[in-house]
Amino acid sequence: MIHMSSLQKNSKTILLSSIILFFSYQMFRIIWPYTTWRTDIDFLQTKYHIIHLSYYKMAFYGHIFSSMLVLPAGAFLFSNWLLKNFSTLHRWIGKSYVGLVLCISAPTGMIMAFHANGGWMAQVSFLILTPLWWWSTYLGYRTARQLDFKAHKRWMIRSYALTFSAISLRLYQFILTAFSHLEAETQYILVSWLSWIGNLIMVELWLERKSLMMWIDNSIRLKKMPKVFSQMKSLPTSGRMKG
């Protein structure tokens, strides 16, 4: 039984890592054309009016190139096998992830948020997302330094859920483009919020799954109680009072 449980956990980890690596590779393919430093391709075509600003250009390239390392890091950070057998490698990858998010990815994302497509509604979304991303990553680092590894794991999961919003945004955008008739700007506003709020909701449900299951179980039992009492009242008495 122990062996089967361990095998199931390893299978889930391998599946999760494979999914992360697959989407990281897809993101790598999206980012690679920008290594030519041309400003007339893909996303930058929508930024023709500000791409000449040096601070925006530095923020853009810093953000996308750091993501090429930050995204695939998740494939290895949550592997218990790697943690047990190669703890030094786990720490090295973790420190690299934290350093990149805190010093490059989140700060440059904050600059880009002020100029996000979709107008002020999308900009507000990214201006909320970025500090949450930075803070959850910092708390993941701080709890590790305090040797509170249970809290460390929870905060790092939240951090990576926000990191993965870069993938979620593109997935939702693809789905809406294929199956809805919403205007492009409306789509982008919608996915700008859904991409990270949806991830956080799913992660919180997973982190609190045991408490949630207990709450559901208790709720079901409480609903059954009136039926049990009514059945008990309808039972015949076993004896009679003697006069």
Least confident of 44-53, 77-86, 154-163: 77-86
Would residue 223 count as lying in a domain?
no
Would residue 42 count as lying in a domain?
no
Residue 233 reports pLDDT greater than 80: no
Would residue 239 count as lying in a domain?
no
Mean pLDDT calculated for residue range 131-145? 97
Would residue 6 count as lying in a domain?
no
Domains contained in the chain, number: 1
Would residue 240 count as lying in a domain?
no
Running DSSP on this structure, what letter comes out for residue 224? H
Place of tokens 């430093």: 37
Q: Locate 139 and state its tokens.
A: 């708390």
Q: Locate 242 and state its tokens.
A: 């003697």
By CB atoms closer than 10 A (0-12, 13-18, 19+), residue 2 is: exposed
Would residue 131 count as lying in a domain?
yes
pLDDT of 132 reads 98
H or E segment at 176? helix 165-179
Mean pLDDT calculated for residue range 98-118? 96
Say whether 115 sits in a helix, a strand or coil: coil
Would residue 182 count as lying in a domain?
yes
Mean pLDDT calculated for residue range 72-85? 88
Mean pLDDT calculated for residue range 177-186? 90
Least confident of 45-54, 163-172, 173-182, 228-237: 228-237
User: Left (φ > 0), alpha (ψ -120 to 50) or beta: where does 37 sit?
Assistant: left
Q: Locate 205 and state its tokens.
A: 């449900």
pLDDT category at 215 given cuts 50, 70, 90 is low
Would residue 199 count as lying in a domain?
yes
- Report the sign of the C-alpha dihedral through residues 189, 190, 191, 197, in that order: positive
Q: Average model confidence (pLDDT) for the chain?
A: 88
pTM for the predicted model, two decimal places: 0.84
The CA-CA-CA angle for residues 151, 154, 155, to 5°, reads 85
Residue type, 118: G
The residue range of the domain holding 202 is 14-30+50-216
Residue 243 reports pLDDT greater than 80: no
